Structure 1
Amino acid sequence: MNASGTVVAAHGRQYRVELDGGETLSCFTRGKKSELACGDRVSIRYSDSNQGVIETIAPRRSLLYRSNAFREKLIAANVSQIIIVVATEPSFSDELVTRCLVAAESQNLRALIVLNKCDLTDRLPAAEATLTPFARIGYPLLRLSARTDASALRPFLSGQTSVLVGQSGMGKSTLINALLPGVRAATRKISTALDTGKHTTTHATLYRLDAQSALIDSPGLQAFGLHHLAPAAIERAFPELRPFLGQCRFRDCRHAREPDCAVRAALTRGELDSRRYAVFQRLLSEAG
């Protein structure tokens, strides 16, 4: 007997599939290589009363993934929104935020930056200063403290399939617990000596908020490679560059040292953030 459903948890080659009828089934793929992501729509065949075999994957509306020169790591499929979680403590990488936003732009996803742990008021000004360039170019920024009240996030989740991404220790699991108290996602203290978070979430998991809304919690990130993006896609993924594209002297301008570069001119005039421009150049270098 065959059935259809959604992958709601991915553990290596083992998956939990929520069938359309509401039942959740442990499933496996055929062969050794697996290319499934949390959020994928699949058809399965029952192998016995407690397990299933995934036969096919439905065409995806979106696929969020990262890559380096050697491999790709799938994060989530069929999401409509990426929520980048940062915090006042531990410190976070603004380059990682930029890379997550570039990935979102490349898949035409909505993006929201959540600044968590805003109750730590002594750390708040520095965190907000780091996020100012993102707010300036139009990315929405939500300030909250998940341990106290995460209700301000709910309107952003309504009608969306969202994925939480960010470094370890930013409070993604705490957000899940605040929004879905019955889940009891594991949380861990940060290392104050090293100013780093510890990995708590080990695999992606999809949670239903209501019939139209879902939230995927993903493992903490320390890097977000985008080797799969072509230079033209990288350019378009920086909204602040778009008004200047096509205005350079050379059609194949890499916006580095070429003469009469409209992007470099905008940078010199102070119209572009220098740190985001530096990430842009690193991404072009990675693309080859």
Structure 2
Amino acid sequence: MKQQGQIIRSYGRRFIVECADQQYDCTTRGKRVDYACGDLVDVSVINKEQAVIENCCERSSLLYRQDDWRTKLIAANVTRIMFVTAAVPTPSEELLNRCLLAAEAADIEPVILINKADLPETADWLARLQPYRELGYTVITVSALHDIEQLLPLVKGQTSVFVGQSGMGKSTLTNALLPSAAARIGDISTALDAGRHTTTHAALYHLDEDSHLIDSPGLQEFGLSHLEATALAGLFPEMRPFIGHCRFHNCTHRAEPNCAIKTACDEGKIRPMRLDLLQKLTNRLVNA
């Protein structure tokens, strides 16, 4: 018997698929594992507990990362990405930038969410993120333990995914939104200044009939090898007005003379760290 369902847990080679009548522990045909939490799939039911995934339905969106060795699917069919950050443990601004580029490439709306608002270090981190607000990104501050009021309208009617470093409070936020989720919460390792990896698999929760949330494992890096070097500049909102105004039509914005994007950076219209990231990614993609 065949049914259609949605992947609500992803364990690498095993998936939990939620169908109309119940949930099934699923494997896949052959060695195929290119499914993500949130995917709509067709399954062949084996018994009351087990099924086999036959194929994946067309996706409306897919968030994934890719390095030189492998591709890692994060979530499918999401409408909003919540980049969960906090002042402690030490946040990575480059990781945030890479996630924003992935969101732009996947055409998924990003939100920068600063958790642990009650920490004294939060004010400095919020100030560092002001340039992203000026670029048009939504930036909100919440406390998973005390006040998530600003988050509620942003998840309403959306399929959202929490993405970010370990220890930033993604699972705590999930618990705050839906206590029955019982997402695992880990302690911060102050000695290593990094959160322990407590969420080891992606999980989808239903907040209400129209609102859904995917909690994903913590990230320490975000490979962007799947992007095209020629398309990179267009993923930076502040660089878009200068595309096509360089001296050379195939300008890579690295060493070419009369580059409009480098000139804009010299004039203070583009932050140097953003240009540095563009050049770093371009170098890697061109030389791959």
- TM-score tier, shorter chain, comes to over 0.9
Which residue in the other structure is 2:59 paired with? 60
Per the TM alignment, residue 135 of structure 1 is displaced from its structure 2 partner at its CA by 1.2
In the TM superposition, 1:34-53 aligns within 5 A as 34-53=33-52
Asked whether the equivalents of residues 151 and 179 of structure 1 are also in contact (C-alpha less than 8 Å), the reply is: no
Higher mean displacement: 141-150 or 241-250: 141-150
Q: Which runs of 4+ in 1 moved over 4 A?
A: none
CA distance in 2, matches of 1:39, 1:212: 14
Residue 130 of structure 2 is aligned with which of 132, 137, 140?
Answer: 132
Which residue in the other structure is 1:278 paired with? 276
CA distance in 2, matches of 1:118, 1:24: 37
Residues 138-167 of structure 1 deviation map (CA, whole Å, 9 limit, x = unaligned): 111000111112132010011111110000
Residues 163-187 of structure 1 deviation map (CA, whole Å, 9 limit, x = unaligned): 1000000000000000001111111
Residues 228-270 of structure 1 deviation map (CA, whole Å, 9 limit, x = unaligned): 1002321211111000000000011111121111100100011
CA distance in 2, matches of 1:258, 1:9: 47
Is the counterpart of residue 157 in structure 1 residue 155 in structure 2? yes
CA distance in 2, matches of 1:78, 1:252: 34
Q: Secondary structure of 1:156's partner?
A: helix
Aligned length: 286
Asked whether the equivalents of residues 39 and 78 of structure 1 are also in contact (C-alpha less than 8 Å), the reply is: yes
Which residue in the other structure is 1:70 paired with? 69
Asked whether the equivalents of residues 112 and 137 of structure 2 are also in contact (C-alpha less than 8 Å), the reply is: yes
Which residue in the other structure is 2:113 paired with? 114
Higher mean displacement: 146-155 or 219-228: 146-155
Amino acid at match of 1:87: A
Higher mean displacement: 168-177 or 154-163: 154-163
Residue 195 of structure 2 is aligned with which of 194, 197, 200?
Answer: 197
Higher mean displacement: 27-36 or 243-252: 27-36
Q: Secondary structure of 1:49's partner?
A: coil
TM-score, length-scaled by structure 1: 0.97
Per the TM alignment, residue 130 of structure 1 is displaced from its structure 2 partner at its CA by 2.3
Amino acid at match of 1:135: R
Asked whether the equivalents of residues 80 and 161 of structure 1 are also in contact (C-alpha less than 8 Å), the reply is: yes
Amino acid at match of 1:55: E
Per the TM alignment, residue 77 of structure 1 is displaced from its structure 2 partner at its CA by 0.7
Stretches of structure 1 lacking an aligned partner (at least 5 in a row): none
CA distance in 2, matches of 1:51, 1:233: 43
Asked whether the equivalents of residues 23 and 49 of structure 2 are also in contact (C-alpha less than 8 Å), the reply is: no
CA distance in 1, matches of 2:98, 2:122: 23
CA distance in 1, matches of 2:133, 2:149: 21
Q: Secondary structure of 1:225's partner?
A: coil
Per the TM alignment, residue 6 of structure 1 is displaced from its structure 2 partner at its CA by 0.4
Per the TM alignment, residue 22 of structure 1 is displaced from its structure 2 partner at its CA by 4.6
Asked whether the equivalents of residues 79 and 163 of structure 1 are also in contact (C-alpha less than 8 Å), the reply is: yes
Per the TM alignment, residue 210 of structure 1 is displaced from its structure 2 partner at its CA by 1.2
Q: Secondary structure of 2:184's partner?
A: coil
CA distance in 2, matches of 1:57, 1:236: 30
TM-score, length-scaled by structure 2: 0.97
Residue 206 of structure 1 is aligned with which of 201, 204, 214?
Answer: 204
Residue 239 of structure 2 is aligned with which of 219, 238, 241?
Answer: 241
CA distance in 2, matches of 1:128, 1:276: 18
CA distance in 2, matches of 1:88, 1:231: 32
CA distance in 1, matches of 2:183, 2:272: 38
Amino acid at match of 2:130: T
CA distance in 2, matches of 1:143, 1:89: 14
Which residue in the other structure is 2:169 paired with? 171
Percent identity reads 48
Q: Secondary structure of 1:267's partner?
A: helix
Stretches of structure 2 lacking an aligned partner (at least 5 in a row): none
Asked whether the equivalents of residues 94 and 130 of structure 1 are also in contact (C-alpha less than 8 Å), the reply is: no
In the TM superposition, 1:244-255 aligns within 5 A as 244-255=242-253
Per the TM alignment, residue 81 of structure 1 is displaced from its structure 2 partner at its CA by 0.9
Amino acid at match of 2:223: G
CA distance in 1, matches of 2:189, 2:88: 10
Which residue in the other structure is 2:144 paired with? 146
CA distance in 2, matches of 1:223, 1:60: 25
Q: Secondary structure of 1:240's partner?
A: coil
Asked whether the equivalents of residues 26 and 53 of structure 2 are also in contact (C-alpha less than 8 Å), the reply is: yes
Asked whether the equivalents of residues 205 and 216 of structure 1 are also in contact (C-alpha less than 8 Å), the reply is: yes
